[in-house]
Chains A and B, each alone.
Chain A
Amino acid sequence: MALTGDLSTFNFVDILQVIAKDRKSGILVVDWKDIMIVYYVKDGEIVFARPVDRIFRVYAERNFEQMLSKLRISKDVLHKTIERFLLSRFDNKQGIFSLTPGFIEYPQEVPVHYPIEELIFIASRSLTPEEVDRRISDDMLLFDKSSNLEEKIEKAKLTKEEMQVLDLINGARTVGEIRLASGLDRLTVDRTLYALLAIGVIHRKKKERQQKPPITLELLTKVIEKIKGL
């Protein structure tokens, strides 16, 4: 089933995260205010982009290689379409998107010039303060690094400032403390945290449990039985 939404409330970092998370394949259609663009998604990577005047063209051309051949586009220049039709549009916040899994027949190998982690970071640099506040919403939030993050970090091509923020994450510093310790402006720190979360190299740390829940096992069992019987 297609996932649909509005870019003004579900930004490009969020969309790319959904694509990356389950290594989805299919197409992402964005009906921008001025143009409709189809982004081809293979195994969680955006491999090609093209504007279309009619959406049915996409559904009529399901074989990826045949479509490229018809458009006379070589695989070596696929990344140019990403630059022209995706990277240049991250500042544009108005459009309706629809992510439809499946149905495109992709060949085994399609070159990936911009890994999804790098796209997420590039997109994050255009997030507005209001957008970052939706996820980095609380000074008291705690983050910790996830395991096996090196490969993703390398693909993401972090700037020096972004790397500095990553280095400050230790599972003990709150968001407020990271902002202070970094000496960077708040938006840069929050955008970085947003993107690090999106590529899955950091995770939120739960507030530690201090005591057992205020209920006995016997009473809890009774509550569960009562609800079952409702």
Chain B
Amino acid sequence: MGIIKKIKIVVAGPFAAGKTQFINTVSEIKTVRTERKTQSAGEKAVKDYTTVAMDFGKIKIDDEHELYLFGTPGQLRFDFMWEILGEGALGIIILVDSTNPSTFHDARRIINFFQSRFPVPIVIGANKQDLPNAWSPTDVATALDIQEDEGIPVLPVSAVDKESVKRTLIALLEIVKMYLRS
């Protein structure tokens, strides 16, 4: 068997935005996680474990190609991993917890980071749309200060719903297709 060629998509976003769940929902392998117990009181209140290096999921495309989904750690103290994981990515999905506006600024910071370093398509997933207090994608876009000419769509996502995750991935790949044709 020949060498498998890897196609890479990065799933980034603030702490507890749902990145691990997003990857887990579509990965054909059990997601490889690098989790440790949360340290700060604020983080502990949200979840017990958090990603510290990356999450990794995989979808086999054919005998020669695999799509790799890399989830970044959300906390700013792990931002050195964003740079490593962003290198060579086909595109970047940034998930935002639509029910938690206190994380929107961290999300914007992450968008700024990738936008100023990697000239690849970015899609924002306004996650947790299945929860009653979720901000709409339009309001999330305004809060994140996404301007129309940035060419970054903000899509409704529920990371627990496979169809929703698929739609987000396809939206990103359709932008890549536009890039290829331009």
Interface residues of A, Cβ cutoff 8 Å to B: 1, 3-6, 8-10, 14, 17-18, 21-22, 134-135, 137-138, 140-142, 146, 197-198, 200, 203-204, 206-210, 212-215, 217, 219-224, 226-228, 230
Contacts and interface: CB of A to CB of B under 8 A. Distances in A.
B116 A140 contact: yes
B173 interface: yes
Interface stretch (B15-23, B29-37, B47-55, B61-69): B61-69
B101 A223 contact: no
B176 A220 contact: yes
A6 B26 CA distance: 34
State the main secondary structure of chain B at its contact with A.
helix
Given A18-B139, A223-B61, A213 B116 contact: no
Given A134-B106, A207-B118, A230-B166, A17 B145 contact: yes
B177 A217 contact: yes
A226 B65 CA distance: 11
A3 B61 contact: no
A17 B176 CA distance: 31
B105 A134 contact: yes
Contact of A213 (B59, B65, B108, B120): B120
State the main secondary structure of chain A at its contact with B.
mixed
Contact of B101 (A5, A212, A217): A5
Q: Considering the complex of A and B, which 10 residue pairs feature the smallest CB-CB distances, nearest first? A: A134-B105, A9-B102, A5-B101, A137-B109, A140-B116, A209-B119, A207-B119, A21-B142, A203-B147, A138-B112
Contacts of A223: 7, 61, 65, 67, 173
B143 interface: yes
Interface of B: 7, 26, 59-62, 65, 67, 88, 90-91, 101-102, 104-106, 108-109, 112-113, 115-120, 133, 135-136, 138-139, 142-143, 145, 147, 149-151, 162, 166, 169-170, 173-174, 176-177, 179-181
Contact of B143 (A6, A10, A146): A10
A141 B119 CA distance: 13
A227 B108 contact: no
A1 B173 contact: no
B170 A224 contact: yes
A200 B112 contact: no
B131 to A, nearest CB: 12
12 contacts: A14-B104, A134-B109, A135-B109, A138-B116, A204-B147, A208-B119, A212-B180, A213-B179, A213-B180, A217-B180, A222-B61, A224-B177
Contact of B90 (A10, A197, A203, A215): A215
